[in-house]
C-alpha cells in the first residue's frame, strides 16, 4: 500500500512487541501522554455505526449482483479491523517523524497518480489500480497534500506572508497533484484538495488578499469561459442533470442521468423525521444504485430519519471541532497544521457528500467518511486519525 | 516571540476555519436535510412509493338496474382487461414478438402496442372489455411467450373486469343511459347514479425492488377488496315501458314524425315514473351507432370534413332524453292548468259562459287571435269550452285570472323550476320574463299554452297535481337502492312539493276531462271499458325544423285513468309530425288510447263498461261441435251469431272461433263439417279507412269477424289500422281487431 515508507516502517516496528520498547525509543514513538480519549471514542463509534449501516445498505445489491449478502460487508469489516489497528499503532508514532518523509510521501503519491493513468482500467475513468489489492491513489494524494503543506509551512512559517513562499511554491505541489487528478478525472478530489490547500495556507498566515484575488480570478475565468460558450457542452456533460433530479423526471434523456440523485432524494425524503427504522430502507432494494458507496448517507437518512442523521452529523461536527481544538495545542506549527488539515478533510467530505446526495452539487464521487464502502479510504482515514491522535498526545503533554 | 506571533495568528485563523466548516458547513447541510426530509418528505416519499409499489386495481362490479318487478334492465358481466409490464422486456426482438402476437389476436394496430412495450414502467393498459374467447387466445399466447422467453413470464397481464350489458337493447335507453369504455356512466340513470352504481375499486399494492421483482426480503402487501356497486330498483315497469315504446314507435312511423316522440307515464299519487319512452331510442349496447336512417343519409351527403362533427352532434341528439331535456309549447294541454287556476281563484265557475266567434282580440287594436275552429264555437259554458278546446274562451279566462296570478300559479305548478326528477340534463322552462311580467297578448296566448316553453316532464307533473287532488309531486325513477344481499340502502319516499289546487277543483276538472274524453276533443284518447280523462294539445313550433318551409307542430295528449279516482297519467307527444295530420287529437290521442288499452288491464285497473259499451261488447262463443249441422246452426243463431257452414258433412267437426273465444256480437261462427273444409283459407281484406259498418260488412263477405278497438262510440269514426294485415291468409271466422279513430276533431 501506498502510504509511503514512513507508514510501512511504523507498521513493521511494533510487530516485534511491545510497549516497553516504545519507552526505549522515544525519538520515534511517543507515549509520554495518552491521546485524546473523546476523539478516539467518537472515531470508533462512527466507524462501528458506519459499518453496520454499510451492511444494511449494501446487502440487497450485494445479494442481487454478487449472490452474497456479505459481499461488501466482509471486505469492509476487514478494512475496519486493519484500519483500527493501524490507527492505534500510528497514534503511538511521534508525528514529527512524518516531517522527514513528507517529500517522499508526496513523490510516491505523484508516482501512483501517474501509474493509475497508465495501467489498464475499465471504463473511461481511471481512479483505481491494483497492487495486491485494489485502491485509489487519490485517497493517498489528499494525505500527501496535507502533509507536504504542513511540512512546507512549518519550515517557512516566517515568510508565509510573501507571495513566493506563501503561494507560488506550495502552489506547485498542489498544481502537480491536481493536474494529474484532472487526467483521471476526479473532480471532487480536486475540489477537496483545493479547499484543504486554502484552509492550510490561510492558517499558515498567507495574506487574505491572495485568497480574494485567487478566488476572484477563478470565478472570472469561469465566467468568461461560460459566457463564451466554451464550457457549454462540457458542463452539460459533467454536471448533467445537476439540480434537476426531480424536474426532468419524465424526460428520457435526463431520466437516466439523474436517476441516482433522484432516488437519493426519494430515500432521504422517505425517511421523514423519524425514519423507516433500522434496516427498513426500501430505496436500497435496487432503486438507488450503489447504495453502499457515495450515497450511503441517503440510506441512513431513510432508515434513521432526520433525527438519526442529525445525531450522526453532530457527531462528525464534534469530531472535527474537537480534533482541531486539541491539535491547536500542539507544540509546533507542523503538528497544528497537520492535525487541522486532517480533521478539516473529514468535515469537508461530510459536507460535500451531503450536498451531493441532496442535489445541491453535481454527482462527482465524494465518499462519506467511515460509512462509504472502500478499503483504501477506510484504512487511509483511520491512519490519518491515528496521526491526529499522535498529535493529541503531544498537545496534552504540552498542556500539562 | 515571532514564532509565538505566528502561532497566535494560527489560533485566530483556526476559529475562522472552525466557524466556516463546523458552523456554516454543517448548519447548511443540516438545514438542507431538514428541508428534504421534513418539509418535502411527504411529497418525496409519495413519489418513492409510486416506484416501490406495484399498484394493481381490482374492478368493482357495477350495480344492476332492475325494473319494479325485479327484471334485469342493465347488468355487468365479467370481461377481461389486458395490460403489459414492459419493464421486463430486454430487447426489441422480444417487444416485437409480443406486440405482434397481441396485435394479431386483438386485431389492432401493431405500432401502437409496440410503442407501449417500450415504456419502462410496470403497468400499461392495452385493451379493456375483452370477451372470454379472446381472453383464452391471449392466455395461450402468454404460454407461448413464456416458453420462448422465460423472463417474460409476467409480461402479459389479464385482469378481471366488468362490462355493461343491456339485455333489452333499445329498451328505455334514453332513461337508462349507457356507460363508457371504462364503465363510467355517460348518460341517463347510469350517469345520474354513477357513484351509487360504480362501487369502489379495490387495489393490491405489492412491494417491488428496482427491477420490478416482487420477491422482496420483507413482506409488503396491502390489499383492499373491491366494493361492488349498489343496485337500482326502478319505478319503471318493463311491461308498461315495452307497450309504450311499441305504440309510440308505431305512431312515429304512421305520422311520419320528423323529430322523435316521447311518452311518460306516471303514478299520479306518488310521482313515480312507470314508463318513459323516447322514440327512436338508441341501442344502449351500441350507443355510438346512429339510429336514424334519415340522419345517416344526411350526414353521408355532407363533405367529409364536416361528417365527424355532424355525427357527434347527431349522437348527442339521439342520446338526449326528449321527455326531460327538450322544451316545447305545451299548447292546449296547458288549458287544464289555466282552468285549474281560474277555478281555484274563483275567476270562473262551472256555469261561466264564453262566446267564441272564431277569433278574439285580447284588447282593442290587436289583431284577433283565431280559434282552431274558425267558424266559432258560439256560446259555451266553461266545461264545454274546455271540451271544445276553445282558444277565445281561454283567452278570456286568462284575462279573468290576470297576469300576476297567472305567474303565481305558473310557478306553483312547478314550471319555473326543475321537477327534480333523478335524471341528468333536465331543461329549464323559457317564459316571457324572469319575473313573470307579460303583456296582454302574452297572457292571452299563454292561456292556451303558446308562447312559452316547458318540458314534457313539467307538463305531466303539473297535470298530475291537478287530477290527484292538488298535490305537486316530485317525479322519480329510482324507488330503491339495494345491495347485493338485498338490503335496502335507501328508498325513495314520494315527495309532495306543495298543494297547488284544492281537492274540489281537482275533482271538478277530472269530471270535465272525462267528459272531454268521452265526447269532446279528446275522444280519440278514450279507452273502451275504462273511465279516462284527457286533453289534447296541438302547438306550433317556433322553428321550421326540417327546413321544408311548412310550419311544424307538436301533437300531444295528456290523459289519466280511472277518471273517478286517478291513478295513472300519461303524456304522449310527437315533435313535428309530417303525415296527413298534425293534431294532438289525431296523432297523439290514438296512441294514448292504444297504450292504455293494454296497460290498464295489466296494471289491474278494473274495467267499468258503459251501457252502450256493454251492448257493443263481444260475447263468448259456445261449443257447437259434435252435433248435427242443423242443431249447431240453431244453437249459433240462438247465441246471437251468424252461422256459416263449410263442407258437406252431417256433423260439425270443428268451429272458428273456438268455443269459449270472444267474438263481436252479431259475429260469424264458421262450422266445419269435413276435413277438407278445415283446410280452406280466406284472404284478409283491407279494412283501413272504413266506418265501423263498412268494416263489418267487408269482413263478413269473407266470413271474418271484426273486433273494434279505439274510439268507436260515434258514427263518424274511421278505421286506421288492423292487427292482421290485408292479404294475409287466415281461416274463416278469424277475429281481426280494427282500430278506429274520430274524425272531425281538430286539436
pLDDT at A310 over 90: yes
Q: Which of B230, B243, B325 is nearest to B277 (CA)?
A: B243
Q: Which of A9, A154, A149 is nearest to A93 (CA)?
A: A9
Q: Can you give the length of chain A in residues?
A: 400
How distant, in Å, are the alpha carbons of A91, A188, A328, B493 from that of A206? 30, 25, 18, 93
Q: Which of B8, B26, B121 to mutate to test the interface with A (most CBs of A within 10 A)?
A: B26
Rounded CA gap, B436 and A124, in Å? 86
Q: Would you tell me which residues 3-42 of chain B have a C-beta closer than 8 angstroms to some C-beta of chain A? A: 3, 6-7, 9-11, 13-14, 16-18, 21-22, 25-26, 28-30, 32-34, 36-38, 40-42
Shortest distance, CA B210 to any CA of chain A (angstroms) = 4
Rounded CA gap, B110 and B587, in Å? 55
B121 touching chain A per CB within 8 A: no
Question: What's the average model confidence in pLDDT over B660-676?
Answer: 77
Question: What's the average model confidence in pLDDT over B341-360?
Answer: 89
Query: Which CATH number fits the domain B325-608, given the four candidates 3.40.710.10, 3.40.50.300, 3.90.190.20, 3.40.20.10?
Result: 3.40.710.10
Rounded CA gap, B571 and B594, in Å? 13
Residue tagged active-site, from B128, B173, B174, B332: B332
Q: Specify burial of residue A305 (Cβ count, 10 A radius: 0-12, 13-18, 19+).
A: buried
For A268-297, b/e burial (b = at least 16 CB within 10 A) is bbbbbeebbeeeebbbbbbbbebbbbbbbb
By C-alpha distance, the chain B residue nearest A297 is: B33
More confident residue, B660 or A155: A155
Give residues with Cβ within 8 angstroms of B67, minimum separation 6. B73, B233, B234, B236, B237, B238, B241
Rounded CA gap, A1 and A130, in Å? 10
Rounded CA gap, B449 and B415, in Å? 12
More confident residue, B550 or B125: B125
Backbone angles phi, psi at B86, to 5 degrees: -65, -15
Dmax over Cα atoms in chain B, in whole Å? 162
Give the pLDDT confidence of B71-127 residue by residue, as tens digits.
999 888 888 888 888 877 888 888 888 888 888 888 888 888 888 888 777 778 888
Backbone angles phi, psi at B6, to 5 degrees: -60, -40
Q: Which of B260, B568, B525, B211 is nearest to B387 (CA)?
A: B525
> 10 Å Cβ neighbour count for A309?
25
pLDDT at A3 over 50: no
pLDDT at B657 over 70: yes
Query: Do the Cβ atoms of A340 and A203 come closer than 8 Å?
Result: yes
Cβ separation of A286 and B30 shorter than 8 Å? no
Backbone angles phi, psi at B741, to 5 degrees: -140, 160
Which region, left, alpha or beta, applies to residue B46 given φ > 0 means left and ψ of -120 to 50 means alpha? Answer: alpha
A267 touching chain B per CB within 8 A: yes
Tell the CATH topology of B54-234.
Penicillin-binding protein 2a (Domain 2) (3.90.1310)
pLDDT at position B6, please? 59
Cβ separation of B210 and A286 shorter than 8 Å? yes
Examine residue A1 and state whether it is found in any structural domain, yes or no: no
User: Which member of A64, A203, A317 has the closest CB to residue B17?
Assistant: A203
Q: In chain A, what percentage of residues exceed pLDDT 70?
A: 83
Alpha helix locations (H) across chain A? 4-12, 19-24, 37-66, 73-92, 96-118, 137-155, 163, 169-183, 187-203, 208-228, 232-238, 252-257, 259-271, 296-327, 333-357, 375-399
Give the confidence band of B724 by pLDDT, cuts at 50, 70, 90.
confident
Chain B residues whose CB is inside 8 A of the A331 CB are none
pLDDT at position A396, please? 73
Chain B residues whose CB is inside 8 A of the A286 CB are 209-211
Give residues with Cβ within 8 angstroms of A34, minimum separation 6. A393, A396
Count how many pairs of residues, chain A against chain B, have C-beta atoms within 8 Å: 151
User: Which member of B25, B44, B210 has the closest CB to residue A265?
Assistant: B44
Chain B residues whose CB is inside 8 A of the A258 CB are none
Cβ separation of B26 and A333 shorter than 8 Å? no
How many domains, in total, are found in chain A? 1
**B728 DSSP β-pair partners:** none
By C-alpha distance, the chain A residue nearest B9 is: A205
pLDDT at A214 over 60: yes
Cβ separation of A285 and B10 shorter than 8 Å? no
Read off the pTM. Answer: 0.59
Rounded CA gap, B460 and B330, in Å? 10
A310 touching chain B per CB within 8 A: yes
Q: Would you tell me which residues 52-71 of chain A have a C-beta closer than 8 angstroms to some C-beta of chain B? A: 60, 64
More confident residue, A224 or B411: B411
3-state DSSP helix/strand/coil % of chain B, to nearest 5: 40, 25, 40
Question: What's the average model confidence in pLDDT over B424-430?
Answer: 90
Cβ separation of B7 and A336 shorter than 8 Å? yes
User: Which member of B9, B34, B40 has the closest CB to residue A205?
Assistant: B9
More confident residue, B615 or B307: B307
Eight-class DSSP state of A29: B
Eight-class DSSP state of B686: P
More confident residue, B237 or B227: B237
Q: In chain B, what percentage of residues exceed pLDDT 70?
A: 92
Cβ separation of A202 and B13 shorter than 8 Å? yes
Give the pLDDT confidence of B609-625 residue by residue, as tens digits.
766 666 556 667 778 88
Chain A residues whose CB is inside 8 A of the B48 CB are 263, 266-267, 269-270, 282-283, 287
Shortest distance, CA A353 to any CA of chain B (angstroms) = 9
Rounded CA gap, A322 and A326, in Å? 6
Of the listed ranges B196-200, B265-269, B316-320, B609-613, the least confidently predicted one is: B609-613
Cβ separation of B38 and A272 shorter than 8 Å? yes
Rounded CA gap, A338 and A330, in Å? 10
pLDDT at A388 over 70: yes
Give residues with Cβ within 8 angstroms of A377, minimum separation 6. A136, A139, A367, A369
User: Which member of B10, B210, B216 has the closest CB to residue A333?
Assistant: B10
> 10 Å Cβ neighbour count for B4?
8
Round the average pLDDT of chain B to a whole number and report it: 84
> 10 Å Cβ neighbour count for B147?
10
pLDDT at position B247, please? 92
Backbone angles phi, psi at A332, to 5 degrees: -125, 160
B332 among known catalytic residues: yes
Query: Do the Cβ atoms of B354 and B338 come closer than 8 Å?
Result: no
B676 touching chain A per CB within 8 A: no
Chain A residues whose CB is inside 8 A of the B17 CB are 199, 202-203, 324, 340, 344
Examine residue A14 and state whether it is found in any structural domain, yes or no: no
Rounded CA gap, B489 and B199, in Å? 13
Q: Which of B439, B436, B420 is nearest to B428 (CA)?
A: B420
Shortest distance, CA B8 to any CA of chain A (angstroms) = 10
> 10 Å Cβ neighbour count for B151?
11
Rounded CA gap, B374 and A94, in Å? 131
Shortest distance, CA B114 to any CA of chain A (angstroms) = 17
pLDDT at position A25, please? 39
> 10 Å Cβ neighbour count for A124?
7
Examine residue A268 and state whether it is found in any structural domain, yes or no: yes
Q: Which of B274, B292, B296 is nearest to B282 (CA)?
A: B292
Chain B residues whose CB is inside 8 A of the A270 CB are 41, 44-45, 48-49
Which region, left, alpha or beta, applies to residue B637 given φ > 0 means left and ψ of -120 to 50 means alpha? Answer: alpha
More confident residue, A315 or B658: A315
3-state SS assignment for residue B82:
strand
ipTM: 0.86
pLDDT at A11 over 90: no
A362 touching chain B per CB within 8 A: no
Structural domain including A75 reads 33-399
B367 touching chain A per CB within 8 A: no
CA B611 to the chain's CA centroid: 38
Question: What's the average model confidence in pLDDT over A147-170?
Answer: 86
Query: Do the Cβ atoms of A58 and A291 come closer than 8 Å?
Result: yes
Rounded CA gap, B5 and B11, in Å? 10
pLDDT at position B34, please? 94
Helices and strands (H, E) in chain B, number of each type: 25, 31
By C-alpha distance, the chain A residue nearest B50 is: A266
A214 touching chain B per CB within 8 A: no
For A186-220, b/e burial (b = at least 16 CB within 10 A) is bbbbbbbbbbbbbbbbbbbbbbeebeeebeeeeee
Instruction: Enumerate the CATH 3.40.710.10 domain ranges in chain B, comma separated.
Output: 325-608
Question: What's the average model confidence in pLDDT over B621-634?
Answer: 82
More confident residue, B608 or A159: A159
Question: What's the average model confidence in pLDDT over B59-68?
Answer: 88
Rounded CA gap, B196 and B370, in Å? 52
Backbone angles phi, psi at B332, to 5 degrees: -65, -20
Q: Which of B480, B489, B418, B423 is nearest to B190 (CA)?
A: B423
pLDDT at position B269, please? 92
Q: β-strands B642-646, B618-620: how paired?
A: unpaired
Q: Which of B7, B11, B29 to mutate to test the interface with A (most CBs of A within 10 A)?
A: B29
pLDDT at position B647, please? 81
Q: Specify burial of residue A372 (Cβ count, 10 A radius: 0-12, 13-18, 19+).
A: buried
Rounded CA gap, B184 and B163, in Å? 10
Shortest distance, CA A348 to any CA of chain B (angstroms) = 7
Question: What's the average model confidence in pLDDT over B201-222?
Answer: 65
Alpha helix locations (H) across A33-136? 37-66, 73-92, 96-118
pLDDT at position A6, please? 42
pLDDT at position B576, please? 87
Of the listed ranges A371-375, B337-341, B628-632, the least confidently predicted one is: B628-632
pLDDT at position A22, please? 39
**B279 DSSP β-pair partners:** B261
Rounded CA gap, B94 and B370, in Å? 81
> 10 Å Cβ neighbour count for A68?
12
Rounded CA gap, A177 and A125, in Å? 17
Examine residue A25 and state whether it is found in any structural domain, yes or no: no
Give the pLDDT confidence of A73-114 residue by residue, as tens digits.
999 999 999 999 999 999 999 898 898 899 999 999 999 999
pLDDT at position B216, please? 57
Give residues with Cβ within 8 angstroms of A369, minimum separation 6. A46, A316, A346, A349, A350, A377, A381
Q: Would you tell me which residues 82-141 of chain A have a C-beta closer than 8 angstroms to some C-beta of chain B? A: none
How distant, in Å, are the alpha carbons of A146, B166, B463, B465, B514 from that of B269? 99, 30, 12, 9, 18
pLDDT at A248 over 60: no
Amino acid at each position: 500500500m501506498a502510504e509511503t515508507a514512513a507508514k510501512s516502517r511504523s507498521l513493521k516496528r511494533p510487530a516485534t512487541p511491545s510497549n516497553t520498547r516504545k519507552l526505549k525509543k522515544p525519538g520515534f514513538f511517543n507515549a509520554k501522554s495518552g491521546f485524546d480519549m473523546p476523539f478516539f471514542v467518537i472515531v470508533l463509534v462512527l466507524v462501528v455505526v458506519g459499518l453496520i449501516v454499510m451492511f444494511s445498505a449494501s446487502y440487497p445489491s450485494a445479494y442481487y449482483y454478487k449472490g452474497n449478502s456479505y459481499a461488501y460487508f466482509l471486505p469492509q469489516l476487514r478494512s475496519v479491523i486493519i484500519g483500527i489497528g493501524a490507527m492505534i499503532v500510528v497514534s503511538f508514532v511521534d508525528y514529527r517523524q512524518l516531517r522527514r518523509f513528507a517529500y517522499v510521501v508526496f513523490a510516491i503519491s505523484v508516482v501512483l497518480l501517474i501509474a493509475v493513468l497508465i495501467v489498464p482500467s475499465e471504463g473511461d475513468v481511471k481512479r483505481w489500480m491494483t497492487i495486491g489489492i485494489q485502491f485509489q491513489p487519490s485517497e493517498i494524494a489528499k494525505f500527501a497534500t496535507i502533509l507536504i503543506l504542513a511540512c512546507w509551512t512549518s519550515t517557512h512559517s516566517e515568510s508565509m506572508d510573501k507571495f513566493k513562499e506563501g503561494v507560488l511554491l506550495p502552489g506547485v505541489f498542489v498544481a502537480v497533484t491536481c493536474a494529474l487528478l484532472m487526467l483521471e478525472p476526479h473532480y471532487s478530489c480536486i475540489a477537496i484538495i483545493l479547499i484543504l490547500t486554502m484552509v492550510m495556507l490561510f492558517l499558515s498566515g498567507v495574506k487574505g488578499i491572495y485568497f480574494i484575488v485567487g478566488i476572484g480570478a477563478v470565478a472570472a475565468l469561469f465566467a468568461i469561459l461560460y459566457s463564451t460558450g466554451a464550457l457549454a457542452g462540457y458542463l452539460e456533460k459533467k454536471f448533467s442533470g445537476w439540480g434537476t433530479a426531480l424536474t426532468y423526471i419524465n424526460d428520457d434523456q435526463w431520466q437516466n442521468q439523474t436517476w441516482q440523485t433522484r432516488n437519493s432524494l426519494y430515500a432521504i425524503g422517505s425517511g421523514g423525521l423519524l425514519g423507516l427504522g433500522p434496516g427498513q430502507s426500501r430505496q436500497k432494494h435496487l432503486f438507488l444504485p450503489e447504495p453502499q458507496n457515495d450515497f450511503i448517507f441517503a440510506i441512513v437518512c431513510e432508515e434513521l430519519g432526520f433525527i438519526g442523521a442529525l445525531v450522526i452529523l453532530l457527531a462528525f461536527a464534534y469530531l472535527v471541532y474537537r480534533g482541531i481544538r486539541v491539535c491547536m495545542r500542539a507544540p509546533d506549527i507542523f503538528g497544528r497544521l497537520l492535525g487541522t488539515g486532517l480533521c478539516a478533510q473529514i468535515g469537508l467530505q461530510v459536507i460535500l457528500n451531503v450536498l451531493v446526495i441532496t442535489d445541491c452539487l453535481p454527482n462527482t464521487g465524494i465518499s462519506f467518511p467511515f460509512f462509504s464502502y472502500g478499503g483504501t479510504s477506510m484504512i487511509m482515514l483511520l491512519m490519518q486519525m491515528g496521526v491526529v491522535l499522535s498529535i493529541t498526545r503531544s498537545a496534552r503533554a504540552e498542556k500539562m | 516571540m515571532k514564532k509565538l506571533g505566528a502561532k497566535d495568528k494560527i489560533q485566530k485563523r483556526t476559529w475562522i476555519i472552525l466557524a466556516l466548516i463546523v458552523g456554516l458547513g454543517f448548519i447548511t447541510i443540516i438545514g438542507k436535510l431538514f428541508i428534504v426530509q421534513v418539509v418535502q418528505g411527504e411529497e418525496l416519499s409519495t413519489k418513492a412509493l409510486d416506484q416501490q409499489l406495484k399498484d394493481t386495481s381490482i374492478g368493482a362490479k357495477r350495480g344492476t338496474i332492475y325494473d319494479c318487478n325485479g327484471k334485469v334492465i342493465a347488468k355487468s358481466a365479467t370481461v377481461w382487461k389486458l395490460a403489459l409490464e414492459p419493464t421486463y422486456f430486454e430487447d426489441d426482438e422480444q417487444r416485437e414478438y409480443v406486440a405482434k402476437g397481441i396485435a394479431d389476436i386483438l386485431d389492432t394496430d401493431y405500432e401502437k402496442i409496440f410503442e407501449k412495450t417500450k415504456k419502462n414502467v410496470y403497468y400499461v393498459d392495452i385493451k379493456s372489455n375483452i370477451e372470454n374467447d379472446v381472453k383464452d387466445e391471449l392466455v395461450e399466447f402468454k404460454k407461448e411467450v413464456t416458453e420462448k422467453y422465460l423472463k417474460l413470464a409476467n409480461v402479459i397481464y389479464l385482469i378481471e373486469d366488468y362490462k355493461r350489458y343491456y339485455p333489452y337493447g333499445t329498451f328505455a335507453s334514453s332513461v337508462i343511459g349507457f356507460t363508457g369504455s371504462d364503465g363510467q356512466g355517460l348518460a341517463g340513470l347510469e350517469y345520474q347514479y354513477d357513484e351509487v352504481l360504480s362501487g369502489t375499486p379495490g387495489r393490491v399494492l405489492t412491494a417491488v425492488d428496482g427491477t420490478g421483482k416482487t420477491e422482496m426480503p420483507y413482506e409488503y402487501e396491502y390489499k383492499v377488496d373491491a366494493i361492488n356497486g349498489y343496485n337500482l330498483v326502478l319505478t319503471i315497469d318493463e311491461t308498461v315501458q315495452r307497450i309504450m315504446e311499441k305504440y309510440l314507435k308505431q305512431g312515429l312511423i304512421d305520422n311520419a314524425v320528423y323529430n322523435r316522440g316521447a311518452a311518460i307515464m306516471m303514478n299520479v299519487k306518488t310521482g313515480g315514473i312507470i314508463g318513459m319512452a323516447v322514440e327512436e331510442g338508441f341501442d344502449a349496447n351500441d350507443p355510438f351507432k346512429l339510429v336514424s336512417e334519415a340522419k345517416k343519409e344526411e350526414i353521408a351527403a355532407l363533405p367529409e370534413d364536416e361528417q365527424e362533427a355532424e355525427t357527434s352532434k347527431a349522437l348527442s341528439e339521439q342520446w338526449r332524453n326528449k321527455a326531460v331535456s327538450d322544451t316545447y309549447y305545451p299548447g292546449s294541454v296547458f288549458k287544464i292548468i289555466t282552468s285549474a287556476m281560474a277555478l281555484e281563484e274563483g275567476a270562473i265557475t262551472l256555469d261561466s259562459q264564453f262566446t267564441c266567434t272564431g277569433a278574439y282580440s285580447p284588447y282593442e287594436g290587436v289583431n284577433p287571435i283565431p280559434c282552431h275552429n274558425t267558424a266559432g264555437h258560439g256560446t259555451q259554458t266553461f266545461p264545454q269550452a274546455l271540451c271544445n278546446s276553445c282558444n277565445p274562451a281561454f283567452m278570456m279566462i286568462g284575462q279573468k285570472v290576470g297576469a300576476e296570478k297567472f305567474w303565481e300559479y305558473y310557478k306553483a305548478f312547478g314550471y319555473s323550476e326543475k321537477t327534480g326528477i333523478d335524471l341528468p340534463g333536465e331543461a329549464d322552462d323559457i317564459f316571457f320574463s324572469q319575473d313573470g311580467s307579460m303583456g296582454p297578448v302574452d297572457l292571452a296566448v299563454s292561456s292556451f299554452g303558446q308562447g312559452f316553453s316547458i318540458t314534457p316532464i313539467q307538463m305531466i307533473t303539473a297535470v298530475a297535481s291537478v287530477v290527484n287532488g292538488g298535490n305537486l309531486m316530485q317525479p322519480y325513477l329510482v324507488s330503491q337502492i339495494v345491495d347485493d344481499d338485498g338490503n335496502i340502502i335507501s328508498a325513495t319516499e314520494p315527495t309532495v312539493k306543495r298543494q297547488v289546487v284544492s281537492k274540489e277543483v281537482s275533482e271538478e276538472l277530472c269530471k270535465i276531462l272525462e267528459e272531454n274524453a268521452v265526447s269532446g276533443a279528446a275522444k280519440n284518447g278514450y279507452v273502451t271499458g275504462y273511465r279516462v280523462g284527457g286533453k289534447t294539445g296541438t302547438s306550433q313550433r317556433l322553428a321550421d325544423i326540417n327546413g321544408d318551409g311548412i310550419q311544424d307542430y307538436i301533437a300531444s295528449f295528456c290523459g289519466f285513468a280511472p277518471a273517478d279516482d286517478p291513478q295513472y297519467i300519461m303524456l304522449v307527444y310527437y315533435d313535428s309530425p309530417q303525415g296527413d295530420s298534425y293534431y294532438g287529437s289525431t296523432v297523439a290521442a290514438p296512441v294514448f288510447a292504444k297504450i292504455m288499452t293494454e296497460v290498464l288491464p295489466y296494471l289491474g285497473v278494473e274495467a267499468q263498461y258503459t251501457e252502450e259499451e256493454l251492448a257493443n261488447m263481444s260475447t263468448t262463443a259456445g261449443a257447437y261441435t259434435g252435433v248435427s249441422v242443423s242443431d249447431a246452426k240453431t244453437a249459433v243463431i240462438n247465441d246471437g251469431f251468424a252461422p256459416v257452414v263449410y263442407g258437406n258433412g252431417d256433423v260439425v267437426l270443428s268451429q272458428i272461433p273456438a268455443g269459449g273465444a270472444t267474438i263481436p256480437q252479431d259475429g260469424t261462427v264458421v262450422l266445419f263439417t269435413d276435413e277438407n273444409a278445415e283446410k280452406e283459407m280466406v284472404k284478409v281484406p283491407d279494412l283501413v279507412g272504413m266506418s265501423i259498418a263498412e268494416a263489418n260488412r267487408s269482413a263478413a263477405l269473407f266470413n271474418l269477424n271484426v273486433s273494434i278497438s279505439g274510439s268507436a262510440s260515434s258514427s263518424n269514426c274511421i278505421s286506421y289500422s288492423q292487427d292482421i294485415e290485408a292479404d294475409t291468409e287466415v281461416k274463416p271466422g278469424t277475429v281481426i281487431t280494427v282500430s278506429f279513430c274520430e274524425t272531425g276533431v281538430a286539436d
